Amino acid sequence: MTHIHITAWVIGIILFLVTYSMLKSENPKAKMLHMITRLFYLLIFLTGGMLITDFGVYAVKMIVGIIVIAAMEMVLVRTKKGKGTSAMWILFIVAFIFVLYLGFSLPQGFDFF
């Protein structure tokens, strides 16, 4: 199950980056890619949710994971609207590093930390 969760967020982040560059270059297919990226948000959330065995232990992991997803969506929407995205990129990077640390130090799956 951790492998499905990892696959979901790796693909989700690649799609997020592709959608971002398509929005930047005003590619008309960006809208479609954005929809697929959103589908992956759901998959990340569902596969992560299935890994929760103890809410006390995993609540922080879940909240930070949701912040990563929210930051990705804010970057995309603000890029589309032509607004500044630096604050959202910082939020995305900080939350992403934190969630990787949490995921890999929590009991299941790989334990790098």
Amino acid letter, residue 110: F
Q: How far is the CB of 82 from ligand HEM (least distance, A)?
A: 25
Q: How far is the CB of 61 from ligand HEM (least distance, A)?
A: 5
Residue ranges that bind ligand HEM, judged by CB under 6 A: 2, 5-6, 9, 44-45, 48-49, 51-52, 58, 61-62, 65-66, 68-69, 96, 99-100, 103-104, 106-110
Percentages helix, strand, coil for the chain (3-state, rounded to 5) are: 80, 0, 20
Closest CB to ligand HEM among 1 and 29?
1
CA angle 63, 95, 19 (to 5 degrees): 105
* DSSP, res 2: H
Task: Name the burial class of residue 82, with classes exposed (0-12), middle (13-18) and buried (19+) by CB atoms within 10 angstroms of its CB.
Answer: exposed
Closest CB to ligand HEM among 29 and 60?
60
Closest CB to ligand HEM among 27 and 67?
67
Q: How far is the CB of 17 from ligand HEM (least distance, A)?
A: 13
Closest CB to ligand HEM among 12 and 23?
12
